Structure 1
Amino acid sequence: MVPGVIVPLVSAIIAGVIAWKAIGPSQKGADATVSAEEREKNKEEEERDKEAGPPVSATVGFPAYYPSRYAFPGQTTDLGVASEFGYGTEGFSKWFSGNGGRAVGLDAVRFTVTPLHKGTVIVQSVRVTDVQCTPTKFDGTAFVPPPIGDGGDEVEPVDVAFDLTEKVPQPRTIKNAQNVGGIDDAGEPVEEVWHLGGRALSKGIYLDGGERPDSRAFDVYFFSGDKDCEFGVELNVTSGDTDDWFPVKLTTEDYRARLAGQATSYRSVVVGVSDTRNELQGPGSPFTPIAVKKERL
């Protein structure tokens, strides 16, 4: 301890305590009132900003559907260390994205919509935007992932489907799907068939805002046939006397999604034979066709 330092320090603390006690009750009460008023003012400003902003938020999640077809534009001639990459691991993800991998023919996204405004908002419709489709260039490598178990999904999402090969893709309901993954009950390859119904969201979905707002999950499916497609998604939302379209993020980083078309054949084939082993095969095509049967709108 340094001589001569502790005494002035203690004296300063005591002086501070005496000064605090010397403040009258009315002054302390006034300070508390100002603080409460500031909090209330800040809260009101936040509410005004919310009401002036978008009526909903859309949080990206994991859909109930898992793709079973993937492709790279380039041919794979040697797997190297990728032969031991477990499906879904960081090493696999880097290898997959590094080769420009995409889902083939069919993919789905999930987003959960929550009101940001106090009153009731209505999700009126959904649409795809700036759809760009071209003949597929993803004929280099087909990738077949290992079997994936049921995710145990307890959410009941609103299912919407878009056939991107239509001149103007329309939001449709999904009636049922057969042989999902292109394998029948006996494990034999078979055509995958999706039956799409009439217009989705024909009645709108009402969501209450406020301190405990409603939320609703949407699983949106996209079919691209033999075309490579890129597109965005927007929601039509009514809040109060305002009705407008709002873009939705389809990944944690991007408002655009990309889907590869199914090629007739691939120059190489990679098969995930287990959770920790991939095998190089090919050429050929491991994929059965995806058929889309639609009712009239």
Structure 2
Amino acid sequence: MLAALIPTVLFGSVAVYQGYRATNATEQSADADQAGKKRDAAEDEKNKAVDEGPPVSVTPGEPPTYPTAFVLKQERHYIGPIGKVTDWGDEFNAWLKAEEARPVGLYSVRFTVKALRDDTTIIQDFKLKDRQCPFEIAGVNENLDVNYKGTLVYPPPLGGSGEDVTRDVLGFDVAQYDETQARIVQKGYPKLGGIAPQREHEIFLRHRFATKTVALEQNDARTFDVYFAGGLECTFGLEMNVTSGDVDTWMEIDISPAWMDGKGAALAPGYKEYGNLVRPDPGKGMIFTPIGSSEKPFAPGVHITADDVTP
């Protein structure tokens, strides 16, 4: 009797186990299918966001050069919060912002552009945005009045040696009213730490960037150094013309320094009569030039040579 029952129990157990395995396999398959659908949906959402968003991302980097002199609108006679500042950091930038200081003659930025879409992305051009030079007269800049002729400031030392990367180098003559498109900068452009405080900046501008353009495939990236030079008081922004697929758009690029609000930048001219001078006292802080000192407040201008023949 017992022997007759054993096969029945065994076969019954096998049948139950096989049923369990089948049910479990079905559930696992359904879970895997559901997980696959979720992944596909997430990927679709990601692709949709890329398609509906900007065709490129722009990431700022350390600028290729830093200003060697700033000028204030007003002449100051109180050193205030920067008296003990020994290096160029947040405290010095906050003071520059509060004083609405402007760099003299030259300003530069570095940023990396990365293509986000499947379509080939073409960087067509760069141009100045909302350029304003209130004292320009038909491009002639001699003997013009200026707002920025107060205290001249030589900044304290800046830590770090900078980075040297492969990049496209562009430039603008900001003070030239009909030069709003970017030009390629001639080899020999200044590098971080390579400009002496009392040495004239020299910028050599070649053909327009628009005659070259840059093509990027998805996830390709390109780094740009952009120099803004000029001998007038000017404020300005920067735009980039990008084509991706059948969409052509102008994108504003944030070029604002740490000492300015907004997305733009500003310059003041050199070779002017300044009220007085604030400079570093190595290891101690910032000081006014002592009374009777032979050191005069001087900031060089910028010498710009442009290729006016090549479009």
- In the superposition, the TM-score normalised over structure 2's length comes to 0.77
Distance 1:285 1:177, change over 3 A: farther
Query: Could you list the per-position Cα deviations for residues 49-88 of structure 1 after superposition, in whole angstroms to 9, with x for gaps in the alignment?
Result: 2123211111122121121121121222021442211232
**Partners of 1:87 and 1:276 within 8 A in 2:** no
Q: Which residue of 2 aligns with 1:8?
A: none
**Partners of 2:269 and 2:301 within 8 A in 1:** no
3-state SS of paired residue (2:50): helix
Measure, in 2, the Cα distance between the counterparts of 1:273 and 1:177: 30
Deviates more, 1:280-289 or 1:30-39: 280-289
3-state SS of paired residue (1:40): helix
Q: 1:181 aligns with which of 189, 195, 198?
A: 195
Q: Which residue of 2 aligns with 1:197?
A: 206
For residue 126 of structure 1, report the CA deviation from its aligned partner: 0.8
For residue 221 of structure 1, report the CA deviation from its aligned partner: 0.8
Q: Which residue of 2 aligns with 1:273?
A: 281
Q: Which ranges of structure 1 fall in alignment gaps of 5 or more residues?
A: 1-20, 184-188
Q: Which residue of 2 aligns with 1:168?
A: 178
For residue 160 of structure 1, report the CA deviation from its aligned partner: 0.7
Query: Could you list the per-position Cα deviations for residues 135-191 of structure 1 after superposition, in whole angstroms to 9, with x for gaps in the alignment?
Result: 3312111111245587242212211111111122231122135896356xxxxx443
Q: 1:232 aligns with which of 233, 237, 240?
A: 237
For residue 127 of structure 1, report the CA deviation from its aligned partner: 0.7
* Identity %, equivalent residues: 28
**Partners of 2:184 and 2:208 within 8 A in 1:** yes
Q: Quote the RMSD (CA, aligned, Å).
A: 2.8
Map 1:121-136 onto structure 2 (within 5 A): 121-135=121-135, 136=146
Q: Which residue of 1 aligns with 2:298?
A: 286
Q: 2:226 aligns with which of 220, 234, 249?
A: 220
The residue type paired with residue 260 of structure 1 is A
Q: Which residue of 2 aligns with 1:4?
A: none
For residue 192 of structure 1, report the CA deviation from its aligned partner: 3.2
Distance 1:104 1:282, change over 3 A: farther
Deviating runs (4+, > 6 A) in structure 1?
A: none
**Partners of 1:124 and 1:204 within 8 A in 2:** yes
Q: Which residue of 2 aligns with 1:6?
A: none
The residue type paired with residue 229 of structure 2 is F
The residue type paired with residue 221 of structure 1 is Y
Query: Could you list the per-position Cα deviations for residues 177-235 of structure 1 after superposition, in whole angstroms to 9, with x for gaps in the alignment?
Result: 5896356xxxxx443322222212522111110xxx1111111111121x221222111
Q: 1:248 aligns with which of 242, 248, 253?
A: 253
Measure, in 2, the Cα distance between the counterparts of 1:23 and 1:266: 89
Q: Which ranges of structure 2 fall in alignment gaps of 5 or more residues?
A: 1-19, 136-145
3-state SS of paired residue (1:84): coil
- In the superposition, the TM-score normalised over structure 1's length comes to 0.80
Map 1:134-149 onto structure 2 (within 5 A): 134-135=134-135, 136-146=146-156
Please state which structure has a larger fraction of its residues in strand. Answer: 1
Q: Which residue of 2 aligns with 1:83?
A: 83
